[in-house]
Amino acid sequence: MQPRAAQDPAVLHEQQLADYRQAFNQELSLQLIQLEQRLAQQNQTTRQQVSRLDKKVASLHEENLRFHRQHTYQIEELSQQRNLSADPGFNSSKVTEVVQEDGKLLLGRYEWVSLPAQQLTLPARVDSGANTSSLHAVNLREFERDGKSWVGFETHYQPRNNEPPLKAEIEAPIIRRVRIIQASGTEARPVVSLPMKLGSLVQDIEFTLSDRGDLTFPILLGRRFMMDIAVIDVSRTYVQGKPVATVIDPEVDDQAEEADL
């Protein structure tokens, strides 16, 4: 009987290396699977925490909106109850024109304005830090009419939780666009011109259309509107009276102008 030939040391070493690599890969795969499972659990926990925080932020935001709306209407109700001479900061007259000696309209940081064509009266925030005025607009749809670019949109305001929202559908020609730079990028927003009434002042105002649903006031009046015609007293609110939203008939206005001539 012949003796068994001794195994080649090189072959034996190669076999040992192959076994080691296989064991190493199996252990590594197991550790990767365990790591992925832990990461998935952590991600799920993180998503749950983020979801709870989002709900809490939304709840706080809604509570803040309710507070501001309540504050706005409390001021209006108080202005109707108090005597004007007792507190000059309130004015409950339906049509007023509070002016300074230089003839400029005096505005508080909040004022009532109306869009006569839509018979809509809304609260506005007066902000000299903003260049242009802004109007809450949703469901924008652009179209062409008589060769010009127009935009249709909806604007609305929720006075109180137990009251129906004030709504209006508006169509107007786009007079220009403004480019808004945000963290997420740039956005071109349409600008329209609409008749607006503040106190006894009726004037066409350029509004940038934007979704102000997360803000308290559906209208923001910027310094371009106030230039040369109004000044702000930020210590006061609703200086001008709440205007009555009446429809402006262009034909009647034209007839009145012709009669004046």
Task: Report d(CA 143, CA 177) in Å as an integer.
Answer: 15
pLDDT at 131: 87
Task: Report d(CA 48, CA 37) in Å as an integer.
Answer: 17
Task: Report d(CA 38, CA 63) in Å as an integer.
Answer: 37
Which helix (H) or strand (E) covers residue 214, if one does?
A: none
Kindly report, residue by residue over 181-211, the tens digit of the pLDDT.
777 778 889 999 999 999 878 889 999 999 9
pLDDT tens string for the chain (261 positions)? 555 556 677 777 788 888 888 888 888 888 889 888 888 888 888 888 888 888 888 777 666 666 655 555 555 555 544 433 333 333 444 444 566 556 788 899 999 999 999 889 999 999 988 888 999 999 999 999 999 999 999 998 877 767 788 889 999 999 999 888 777 778 889 999 999 999 878 889 999 999 998 888 999 999 888 887 888 888 898 988 887 654 444 343 443 333 333
pTM over 0.75: no
Kindly report, residue by residue over 99-135, the tens digit of the pLDDT.
655 678 889 999 999 999 988 999 999 998 888 899 9
Closest CA to 167 of 136, 142, 194, 196: 136
Closest CA to 216 of 157, 140, 152: 157
Task: Report d(CA 163, CA 126) in Å as an integer.
Answer: 25
